Structure 1
C-alpha cells in the first residue's frame, strides 16, 4: 500500500540517486503501470508525454496543462518512489507563465521535472540559444522559490526536432549546466562519441540517456560511459499499444484470437494490485 513516504522524502531520495552510479528510470503512463514498475524494484519513475497522450487518443504535445498536472499528481500519489515529470516546454512560450506552471507542477508532488528547449507540440525547431538559456535560468528560479528540493533536468531537443548538431547540443548542455540544471538530457543521441561529448559537457552533473529502441547498450555499458540515468520515453507504452493493435487487427482481419495465448491472467493482475486497496 502506498502513502508511506512524503513528497519531501521522495525528493531527497531522488537527489541522492543522481549523485553517483547509474539507474534506470522507466516511464509508466497510468497508475497500473507505475505500480508495476515500483513492484519490479525500480528506484524512480518518469512520466511520458507521448505515452499518456496516445492512451488518451491524442498526439504527443497535444494535451492541455490541467490534464497533465492531474496525471502527474495521480502518478505521484500512487507510488512510494520518486516521480520525474516530462514537463515539455513548461506549457508556455511566455517565461512568466512557464514559471507559474512549474510551481503548479511542483505542487503536484513531483520529485523532478524536465524542461525542453523547443516550443510545445512542434515537430521541428528550437528556441534560439539565448532564449533557451534564459528559460532554464527562469525554471531554476521558479523551483527554488517554492522552497522544495525538486531536481531540474534541462533537455536539448535538436536530435529529435530536425536539428541534429552535436556541437550545438554540447554548447547548450554547458550553458544549461551553468544556468542551474541538475541533470542534462539530449534525447536522440545514439553513438558512443555523442554520449561522451554530452557527459563531458555536463561537467560532472548527471546525464540522462534516452534508450528508446534496441541500440545494443546495457545498463553496464551506459554506466561505463558516464551516464547516470537511463529513461525509455514512450517505448513501454508503445510496446503495449503495439501488442493491442496486432491482436486487435488479427481479430478484425482474420477472426483469429491466437494473440490471447499466454497473456497474463485477470487473477494474476488482481493479485498484483490487491495490496493497493486501502482498508
Structure 2
C-alpha cells in the first residue's frame, strides 16, 4: 500500500466514524510537524495562514495555484498524517481549470481539498448556482477513483448573504455533483449548524476560531458535525504571540515573553528529519 493510499484510507475512516474530529490548519512544514506531534489525526492547509507568513494578503490575487500547491506539498512531506488543502476557488475561471487544480492536488500527495463558490468580486461575491454546481462536477470528475475527498464550500455567510435556504440548496446540489464533504463557513449559531447537518447527506465541516460565536467540539458533535477546522486562526494566534513579545521589548524593555516560548531543544527534536546535525 502506498503512503498516499494509507493516508486516504485513514482520512476516509475519520469521516465515517462516530462523533467529530478536529483537523487543524497548518501553514508550513514546521507548524504541521508541531500539530502532528500533538496527537491530531489529520491536517488541513490554510491559504490565509500561508499568505500571512509570505507577507501577502489572503485574497484571490494574493497567491497563485503554484504557490498554494508547493506549500501544500511541503506540509504533506512534513508528516505522515492525511492532509486536505484549501484550494480556494479552484484557481480558474472555468470548470476545466478547477478540475486541473484537483488533479495537480492529487499529484502533490494531498488526500483532500476544498472548492468554494466565492468569486473574489465584491460586487458579485457568490457564483451563480448553475456555475457553482458545474465547477464541483468538474472537480469531482477529475478526482473520481483517486484517493481524494472533495470538500465543496458554500460561502454565503462569509460574504453577507445570510440565506440559510440557499446555502442548504447549494450544499445539497454540491453533494449530488459528487462532493464528499460539505462546508458552509460562518454559520451563525448551533440551530443553523444543526439544520445544515440534518438537511444534507454528506459529512459536514465547520470552522471555529473564525469569529464569534464559538462552540465546543462536544456541542458541534451533538449538532451533527463530523469535522472541525480552524482556518487561519492558529496562524493568527502565532502572529498574536509574536506581536505581544515585540510590544513587551519595545514598550517595557523586558524579555519575559521567552518564558512562554517553546524550548529550542524541543523544537530541534520536533524538526529533526534524520539527517546529521550540521550545526557549528
TM-score w.r.t. the length of structure 1 is 0.92
Task: Please state if 1:117 is matched with 2:117.
Answer: yes
Q: Match of 1:155?
A: 153
Deviations along 1:46-92, whole A, 9 cap, x unmatched?
Answer: 00010000010111121111111111111111111100010001111
Which residue does 1:166 correspond to in 2?
Answer: 164
Q: Which residue in the other structure is 1:64 paired with?
A: 64
Q: Structure 1 residues 223 and 105, CA, compared in 2 at 3 Å: closer, same or farther?
A: same
Deviation at 1:278, TM superposition (A): 4.1
How has the CA–CA distance of structure 1 residues 34 and 159 changed in structure 2, closer, same or farther, with 3 Å as cutoff?
A: same
Segments ≥4 residues shifted beyond 6 Å: none
Q: Aligned equivalents of 2:222 and 2:106: distance in 1?
A: 32
Give the superposition deviation at 1:161. Answer: 1.6
Aligned match of 1:222? 220
Residues 98-109 of structure 1: matches in 2 within 5 Å? 98-109=98-109
Q: CA offsets per residue over residues 202-259 of structure 1, 9 Å max, x none?
A: 22x1000111156442212111111000000001000000111122133234433332
Number of paired residues? Answer: 272
Q: Please give the secondary structure, in 2, of the residue aligned with 1:18.
A: helix
CA contact (8 A) 1:73 1:110 kept: yes
Residue 37 of structure 1 is aligned with which of 24, 35, 38?
35
Residues 1-279 of structure 1 correspond to what in structure 2 (within 5 A)?
6-21=3-18, 22-61=20-59, 62-120=62-120, 125-144=125-144, 147-203=145-201, 205-212=202-209, 213=211, 215-274=213-272, 276-278=273-275
In structure 2, C-alpha distance between the alignment counterparts of 1:44 and 1:67, rounded to whole Å: 22
For 1:149 and 1:271, how far apart are their aligned partners in 2? 31
Q: Gaps spanning 5+ residues in structure 2: where?
A: none
Contact kept? 1:123, 1:161, Cα under 8 Å: no
The answer for unaligned runs of 5 or more in structure 1 is: none
Aligned-pair Cα RMSD in Å: 1.9
Deviation per CA, 1:5-63: give whole Å up to 9, x if none.
61111111111111122100001111111111111111100000100000101111211
CA distance 1:123–1:64, change in 2 (3 Å): farther
Inter-partner Cα distance in structure 2 for 1:262 and 1:14? 33
8 A contact 2:26–2:46 mirrored in 1? yes
- Cα distance, 1:38–1:201 mapped onto 2, change above 3 Å: same
Q: Which moved more, 1:120-129 or 1:220-229?
A: 120-129
How far apart, in 2, do the equivalents of 1:240 and 1:13 lie? 29
Contact 2:171–2:200 (8 Å) recurs in 1: yes
* C-alpha contact 2:154 2:185 (8 A) present in aligned 1: yes
Structure 2 length as normaliser, TM-score?
Answer: 0.91
SS in 2 for 1:63: coil
Q: Residue 121 of structure 1: CA displacement?
A: 7.5
Distance 2:196 2:23 in 1: 19
CA deviation after TM superposition for structure 1 residue 201, in Å:
2.4
